[in-house]
Structure formats: structure tokens, C-alpha cells
Amino acid sequence: MPAALSVSNLDLRYGKKEILRDLSLEILPGHILALIGPEEGGKSSLLRALNRMADEEGASYCGNILLNGESIFLKDAVTLRRAVGMVPPTPVLFRGTVFDNIVAGLRLQGQRNGGELRRLAEGALAQMGLTEEYTPLLGERADSLPLPARQMVAFLRALALEPELLLLDEPSRSLDAAGVAQMEEALCRIKGRCTVLLATNTLQQAGRIADETALLINGRIVEYGETAELFSNPREKQTEDYLTGRYYERASLSL
Amino acid sequence: MMSKEQCLNFCFLSLCALLALLALGLFLWPVLRLCADATALFLKGEPLLLSLGRSLFFSLRLLALVLLLVVPIAFLIASQSYRRAGRRGLRAALGVLSWLPAVFLGFFARLLFARVLGDGMPAAALTLFLFMLPFLTVRFEDALRAVPEPIRRAGKMLGATERSILFRLIAPRAFGALGRALVLCTERILGEATALLMLHGVAPEGNMLSLELYRLISLQREDSLLLALFLALILCALRLAASYRWDGSPLLASAPSADSTRKRS
């Protein structure tokens, strides 16, 4: 079941360093929200706050995040992460075969039934339309795969857990053009089955697949709304500057 | 073309083989003579081999008991401390403990354990347990910390508990280093004499191999060289086994330190 997510007045700090400031947004179940913005703008930090991986790095929060109406801070972090999948920008695969990696999350959560594992792995492949391409690779060693395929395996591993919310942190950073197209097609296929938050530096990617888009600069949401509306008719000057590339010109001039 | 690492491995193995041949040449003749003498003595009713067998049996029983005590506790402490930011204090304490002189530890054990438990195997096992606990804990912790942090983080992202991350992701990757630590620990236990000597001296029978050697030498028996050689060979074999990379990675490849993997991540 796709989850509804609501972030209200969220501040996030690492020690004295403020990363996110007074951040609020809402995502409807099954929608894809793209987070765009310059590097160090807070996109990855927001994703890590949503599955509380930021806790591991000593983050402190103010404000609230509701997942299906329940505060994530009142939930056990392990239980939360079972409902919220995440794909980091650089794939980290475990030892073993591609199959072992796809079902790694299920095994780590205590699933032992071989038939059930196979069914869930095949389900994830089918969901992403990768059955033909990846079924012959299931017995291959995962570390022998090229980087784009490793990223897809990391994606499949997160998807095999059937998450309610999927966090993708620049998933196409290590992909070539074909890989990006494959990833976007897969995202379109899973649309509606889980809510997706996609942090990306590629505006075109956000334009192609996201229902809503939010622009984050210096830990603040500058503008947030429907993707088509935000791209064609930005309300804020900063958004317009960012979309047209003038933001970077000004940033370099101010240096 | 051989890589630099392969060349180094080849040179190292060649050197080992050369040394082994040299050692074999040096030792083989006296060993054969000693074996012949020992067999002759045994056939005449001399109890040398019997004493050797008895001390070997005693050593193995003591070794098993100590490992049974020390391995789970060292692993438990290491599994709790390897991911703590504030583990410097614990590590410093373990470092100090691991460098405590065996004489001091033996003396302490004599004051405490020997009075409560008597002079038997339990007191000896507890003494060696105290002796090995910091040593093994530090090595286990190093082995667990050498596994790259992103692996642990990836496990967390998949909703795994700390226990399942430790047993299903970290420990299998650290298997080689954990095995080496265990072999080194075994070697140190078998070679340890001072602490046990301080604990209850040398018994007329039922000693660790090292103490049995001391007893035979103090009896001024020349054939005790056989036992010395036997013990030295066991210890050398264990030390060599500990230097082998069990996970199949090259023998001389430097293990990435925990800090460098953290920086990379």
C-alpha cells in the first residue's frame, strides 16, 4: 500500500550546523515527488531524515514527519525502515549472487522460505519489467556486474521489500543513458504501487516522471507544486533562476 | 604480467619455502635421532612419550575450556564496542589490560583463584581467560571494524536489526580476520608458561606443554629437546596459519583500515 507522507516545520541539525529549516511538504499516496536543487541544498538529508538514517549520523530534529498519519519519531527505527525503502546514490552490494542481493533485505528481516524468496524476487523483476534481462543473471556474482546493473540490483533489492515509501537518492548518478531510461521506465511502472521521493540533479528527469516537484536551496523549500506548473510557470524568482541556470551564474559571481 | 602484489606474494612464498627447506635440513637429522632415542627409551619403559601425551591432552582440555569462556565474551564485547563513537576509553583500557605482564596476572590469580578454586584446571582456565580476554577482544573489534561502514548502513536501510547486521553481514565478511585472531589466541594460550608457573608452579604430572617442557629440562633430561621441538613446531604452525588470509585475498595485501574505509564512504 502506498503511504501518505506529511512533513511539517522540520528543522534538522548536525551538531550546530543547520541543514533543513522549517521545511513542510505533503505527498499523496502513490505519487512521485522530485526534489531538485543545487548540491548541499538538503535533498539527501531530507531523504535520510525520512527513514531516520540521519539518526545514525547524530542528527537532531525539530518539527514532525507523519507517515500514514503516524509520527515516524514515535515508531521504532527498524520497523520504520521496513516500510520505507531507500536506494543510495552509490550501490552497495553484498557478497553473493544477484539473487542473494535482491532477497538480502528479506533474509535480513528473517524470511527463510526459499520459494517465497524466489517469488518476491521474481515479483520485483516483473514489476520493473526486467524479467527477461535479469533472470539469466540471478546466479551471477553481484560484484562482477557493471556499475549500472549494480545500481539496478540495489533498486530491485529495495523494491523486493514491497515498501510503502521509496526514497531514491540520485539513483541515476552512476547510470548511462540506457540505464537512466530503464530506471525511469521502471519508476513509471511502479507508480501508484508505492509513494516515491526522488532526489535528482537532472531537471529533465524530474520533468519526465514526477507528479510534484520541490526546489530545495540551502535547506529551505523555495517552491513546491505540480511539476508541469512549476516548470512552466514558476512563482518564485529563485525557481526561475534555478530552472534557467541563472542561479549558478549568480552563485559564481557572488564568489 | 604479474602485478606488484603477485610478485611480492611469490617472493614471500619462495622465501618461506627456502626457510622451510633450511629448517628441515637443520632439524631433520637431530629430530630423527631424537625420535629414535625416544622410541628406544619408550620401549625400555621410559615414560617420556606418555608424559608428552598426557601434557598434550591436558593442554587441549585447558585450551578448549579457555576458548569456550573467552571467545563468546570477547565477541560480545567487540560486537557492542566496534560501532560506538566513544569506544576510545574502552579500547585504551583493553590495551592496558592486554599489556599487563603475565607475572603480574599469575600473581593476582594465585592470590585470588588458587585460594578459591585450588590448584586445578578451573583456576588455570580462569587465569588464561583473564590473560586472553583483552587480547582477543581488541582483535575481534579490529576485525569487525575493518568491514566497510556502507555495508552496515545498507543493512540498516533494509530494515535489519543490529543483531542480524552483525551475524549476516559483518561477521561473514570479517570471517578471515576473526579466524586469524582465534588462531593467534590459541597459539598464545599454548605457549603461555609464566602466568601458570606463578599460579601453581610445575606439577609432577598434568602440565601445559610449555610447563612440561620446563619440568623435563629442570630434570636435566636431554630428550626433553624432542618436546621442545614438538611445541615449537605447533606454535610455528599456528603462527603461520594466523598469517594466512583465509578469505582468499592475497597474502600480503594490506587490509584496509577502518578509518580509511570510513573516509572513502
Q: What is the pLDDT of residues A30-69, one digit of tens each?
A: 999 999 998 888 899 999 999 999 988 888 989 999 999 9
Query: What range does the domain containing A178 cover?
Result: 5-93+164-254
Tell me if B157 and A85 make a contact (CB, 8 A cut-off).
yes
Residue A183: closest CA among A63, A91, A58: A91
Does residue B263 have a pLDDT over 50?
Answer: no
Q: Are B176 and B245 in contact (CB under 8 A)?
A: yes
Does residue A226 have a pLDDT over 80?
Answer: yes
Q: Tell me which chain A residues have a C-beta less than 8 angstroms from the C-beta of B155.
A: 108
In a domain, A105, yes or no: no
Which member of B154, B159, B160 has the closest CB to residue A92? B154
- Cell numbers that stand for A4 in this block: 501518505
pLDDT: which is higher, A49 or B127: A49
Tell me if B159 and A109 make a contact (CB, 8 A cut-off).
yes
Q: Tell me which chain B residues have a C-beta less than 8 angstroms from the C-beta of A56.
A: 153, 156
Rounded CA-CA distance B178/B173 in Å is 9
pLDDT: which is higher, B231 or A133: A133
Q: Are B160 and A80 in contact (CB under 8 A)?
A: no
In a domain, A186, yes or no: yes
* End-to-end Cα separation, chain A, in angstroms: 47
Give chain A's domain count: 1
- Cell numbers that stand for B5 in this block: 602484489
Mutate to test the interface with A, among B83, B147, B149, B156 (most CBs of A within 10 A): B156
- pLDDT, mean of residues A218-246: 88
| 3-class secondary-structure state, position A34 | strand
- Cell numbers that stand for A168 in this block: 531514491
**Domain layout of chain B by residue ranges:** 52-248+256-264
Q: Are A186 and A166 in contact (CB under 8 A)?
A: no
Q: Which residues contact B20 (CB under 8 A, 6 or more apart)?
A: none
Tell me if B153 and A92 make a contact (CB, 8 A cut-off).
yes
In a domain, A129, yes or no: no
Specify the CATH number for the domain of residue A205.
3.40.50.300
pLDDT, tens only, B216-255: 777 766 666 666 777 777 777 777 777 766 554 444 434 4
Nearest residue of chain A to residue B163 (CA atoms): A108
Q: Determine the distance in angstroms separating the CA of B142 from the nearest CA of chain A, rounded to an integer.
A: 20
Mutate to test the interface with B, among A57, A92, A167 (most CBs of B within 10 A): A92
Q: Which of A51-55, B112-116, B131-135, B184-188 has the lowest mean pLDDT?
A: B112-116
Rounded CA-CA distance A217/A201 in Å is 12
CA angle, residues B234, B76, B238, in degrees to nearest 5? 10
- Cell numbers that stand for B184 in this block: 593467534
Give the B window 143-182 contacts with A, CB below 8 Å. Answer: 150-151, 153-161, 164-165, 168-169, 172-173
In a domain, A125, yes or no: no
Mean pLDDT, chain A, rounded, equals: 88
pLDDT, tens only, B151-182: 999 999 999 998 999 999 999 889 888 988 88
Rounded CA-CA distance A138/A115 in Å is 15
Q: Is B264 on the interface with A (CB under 8 A)?
A: no
pLDDT, tens only, B29-67: 666 666 666 666 655 655 666 677 777 788 888 888 889
Does residue A80 have a pLDDT over 90?
Answer: yes
Nearest residue of chain B to residue A86 (CA atoms): B157
**Predicted complex ipTM exceeds 0.90:** no
pLDDT: which is higher, A215 or B236: A215
Sign of CA dihedral A93, A95, A99, A102: negative
Q: Would you say domain B52-248+256-264 falls under CATH 1.10.150.130?
A: no
In a domain, A188, yes or no: yes
Q: Are A49 and A61 in contact (CB under 8 A)?
A: yes
Question: DSSP secondary-structure letter at B245?
Answer: -
